[in-house]
Amino acid sequence: MPAEWEPQAAVWLSWPHNRATWPKRFRPIPRAFAKFVAAISRFEEVRINCARDLQERARKLCVEADADIQRVTFYDHPTNDAWCRDHGPIFVKNKNSGEVAITDWTFNAWGGKYPRYDLDNKIPSRIARALELRCFVNEMVLEGGSIDVNGRGLLLTSEQCLLNRNRNPHLTRDEIERNLKDFFSVRTVLWLGEGIAGDDTDGHVDDIARFFKADGFITCVEANRRDSNHKILAANLERLKSFRTSNRGRFEIVPLPMPAPVSFRGQRVPASYANFLIINGAVLVPNFRQPRRDAEAGVVLRDCFPGREIVPIDCYDLIWGLGTLHCLSQQQPA
């Protein structure tokens, strides 16, 4: 599995249509999503899973958002929801031949939390057929947002998610590690603890900490000791400090501030700047209409990704669905 900063052929998305995902706030979502499509299309191709009857409206919104429509392709792949990071394929690449293939894991809607995920679970195999790529099937439940790799043999994940009994109760920790090593060609699995408040995915790592280079992590920190995320993120930081690179060296660790808590109708949502998306030539960064903190996060990421444009994306409405840019997307390596 290549690192996210390696060259990409396209980014895959699934068009939003499930109103229950954004209860009483769905109206702005398609336009916000179209702006996300437009931002990606400035840099590379966008491929969108979208039922045929939704495509005309979706295309119109993308055009209105100034997307490079020549770089946007719709596929008649119906979905239950929009979270392509988790139900979409996880791509792998043969380092010798350059062949790109798909890994197809079981998707069970984050431990069976939401009804109907049959269409989502078919997306990897549909994309494999559409692109005529080899597809490697693994029956283990796994979501793309629960893992991150450095492309050099290391994989980062969390105990709260992958060891959760609502995912793979029949598998031991060692068996889960073996599946990850076999299918992603990693040598070492690095385990963080818990995820942030409001996260219905049981601690996906893409809201906590991410590789930004082979020997470096960006990790969320919460300065407010009274915030429920303070202890969680501090504990994860201590684990990151204890990890060692493939050469037994220490990782460079860059702290990333959290946004101020975001809530809708009394419910806290998992707003996190770690949910950024790396694409060819750019990093797309979720913003939450908090000018000072949004800017601080942008500066941190600019310093971590020299040579890439930092593109802020307004995610204030999107986060009510309990995810933002990384959760909505899945990169296809070149």
Rounded CA gap, 58 and 60, in Å?
5
120 touches 108 (CB < 8 A) = no
**Residue with tokens 């310093």, as numbered in its chain:** 303
Sign of the CA dihedral 52, 15, 198, 194? positive
Q: Is 220 a catalytic residue?
A: no
For residue 97, give the amino acid letter: S
Q: Which spans in 228-290 are helix H?
A: 229-242
122 touches 168 (CB < 8 A) = no
The DSSP H or E segment spanning 277 is strand 277-279
Rounded CA gap, 60 and 70, in Å?
13
Rounded CA gap, 149 and 212, in Å?
10
Residue 304, CA distances (Å) to 15, 143, 278 in order: 30, 26, 11
Sign of the CA dihedral 34, 274, 89, 159? negative
- Catalytic pick among 62, 84, 315, 327: 327
Task: Provide the angle, in degrees to the nearest 10, between the axes of the packed helices 52-64 and 29-41.
Answer: 70
The radius of gyration of the chain's CA atoms, rounded to the nearest angstrom, is 18
Rounded CA gap, 303 and 166, in Å?
38
Active site residues: 327
